Structure 1
């Protein structure tokens, strides 16, 4: 009830789902940061914006007003402006948890590093058509298991989380194609593209992204053949088609979010945010993926703890 949580980028349906679930759970304070106007195209999936809302108001202002009606006991604030590309450490110090949606990898990497420095839990999430995911970094997180038998003193558990930079640089040769979620490869290639091009890829860049995926797959196979002792079985080797074109296109072109996907991801993510502040229950470490293609929620642990 004393938790202070920030959600930056409230236009998305995932952000709306998480904000709703957190507000109804009764946290101490929830701050929303998004100066996009309600009439903007990106806000169409935010169900917190009523049909008769003032279209000249920001998404954060209107969403905050709706959430206050849902739970007047929670302090809900709409902050002015938008998320700055470079983190303001003093500003971040005022929160226990920060969730960012709809930001470039360059910004996300800086905020993850700043949150690690301050000990602030960091989350980022995205929903793209039929596929969605979130990333969590709780640093070194102590928690009490939920399944302790009655009468026994709960033993503390500790989860150590890799940084976002480490997770996005996971070598392809260490991944098993049959068991790794396909969006992992999409994120890896898009992050690689952005680091070189200085911008998020667009539809015209899809052929280049596919070519980069082929290069990384070839490098992974060469590395595996050079070290047979640590290589995965042949059926798990990375191949050229490990990054499906439809999932890549959905992620890059910003296909409209699907409410059912947002509801699932937003429910799981809100629960993880509450775990982060309550220290009750083992947290997801560190990626969670959900897609309508298989209707399965998959946890992936990527990167190394430094």
Structure 2
């Protein structure tokens, strides 16, 4: 890429050039990003945001037909879209209209069950939605070996989260005190497998987000079965949730500094019967939740390729129940 932008690029990106400067914009325009699982509303939000920001190359992977029920939450699929098209093809067409300066491609087929290193090597960032944890764990491990930044996200009912693994990530802080030259920092990220297996006794159970329990329960189920849980699986999931809750209470009771864990945080009535059920069977995505999660996640993707700003490490949770976004750092660096 040359030292200067074309006249068209400078005009389209004028506003953000004033915010973050030429060098950062050039980094974005050189970025190669893959989004797999475009049927979800979260994926659509992220794709829209990073396309408008001017990333260099955005590849979409989702062979679900436009007319499928799974694609109902993807607002990128226009009303007059060819129903024979895949979700990826219809989304790519809309994104190209939003920003024709970005190289947007709809890749054929769906996400392979087994990661292909040669395929993944062509990207700087991989975002996967709508895949069980059995698949996500494999792709996180493959991306880690290649040094490719890995993200996954999920939005179900009023609950949502994303996970980030940027491995060993060097970045420049956004803000420094007046007169101080910003220095680069490094943030090391745990693997997804490590994040999902952190012992409860190492957590400050009093302050742990309720969705951590939900994700742990579902991840354990999906990694063993290779599929998403259904209503029929709820009794087994609730039993596992009660076991985790008991472990957390025991850890909190043994922590003189943390004190006893409030029962209403992870009680059988609030966590398993409420949040867990909604996450498992409340598959309908809510546009406001997708907008919040997709906005934060898109910003993290841009941080990953620009190396500007401290990244979220490593889980971000958002639900309408508490109406706040919380960061949880789980797992150990190996």
Q: Pick the TM interval, shorter chain.
A: over 0.9
Name the structure 2 match of 1:6.
34
Contact kept, 8 Å, 1:137 with 1:162, in 2: the verdict is yes
Per the normalisation by structure 1, the TM-score is 0.94
Q: Pairwise CA RMSD of aligned residues? A: 1.8
Question: 2:187, 2:256 → 1: CA distance?
Answer: 26
Question: 2:80, 2:230 → 1: CA distance?
Answer: 34
2:166 to 129, 133, 138: 138
Name the structure 1 match of 2:119.
91
Question: 1:195, 1:27 → 2: CA distance?
Answer: 33
1:214 to 231, 242, 245: 242
Range that drifts further, 143-152 or 21-30: 143-152
Relative to 1, partners in 2 of residues 1:2 and 1:193: Cα closer, same or farther, differing over 3 Å? same
Name the structure 1 match of 2:157.
129
Alignment pair present for 1:59 and 2:87:
yes
Contact kept, 8 Å, 1:39 with 1:55, in 2: the verdict is yes
Contact kept, 8 Å, 1:177 with 1:236, in 2: the verdict is no
In the alignment, structure 1 segments of 5+ residues that lack a partner are none
Map 1:123-202 onto structure 2 (within 5 A): 123-149=151-177, 151-202=179-230
Question: 2:326, 2:172 → 1: CA distance?
Answer: 23
CA-to-partner distance for each residue in 1:165-211, whole Å, 9 max, x for gaps? 01111222333444211111011011122334443221111111111
Question: 2:75, 2:223 → 1: CA distance?
Answer: 34
Relative to 1, partners in 2 of residues 1:297 and 1:224: Cα closer, same or farther, differing over 3 Å? closer
Name the structure 2 match of 1:295.
323
Alignment pair present for 1:262 and 2:308:
no
1:220 is displaced (CA, Å) by: 4.1
Question: 1:212, 1:60 → 2: CA distance?
Answer: 36
Contact kept, 8 Å, 2:135 with 2:226, in 1: the verdict is no
Contact kept, 8 Å, 2:132 with 2:223, in 1: the verdict is no
Alignment pair present for 1:246 and 2:274:
yes
Contact kept, 8 Å, 1:105 with 1:194, in 2: the verdict is yes
2:67 to 39, 61, 81: 39
Contact kept, 8 Å, 1:173 with 1:231, in 2: the verdict is no
Question: 1:288, 1:197 → 2: CA distance?
Answer: 25
Contact kept, 8 Å, 1:10 with 1:59, in 2: the verdict is yes
Name the structure 2 match of 1:20.
48
Range that drifts further, 106-115 or 145-154: 145-154
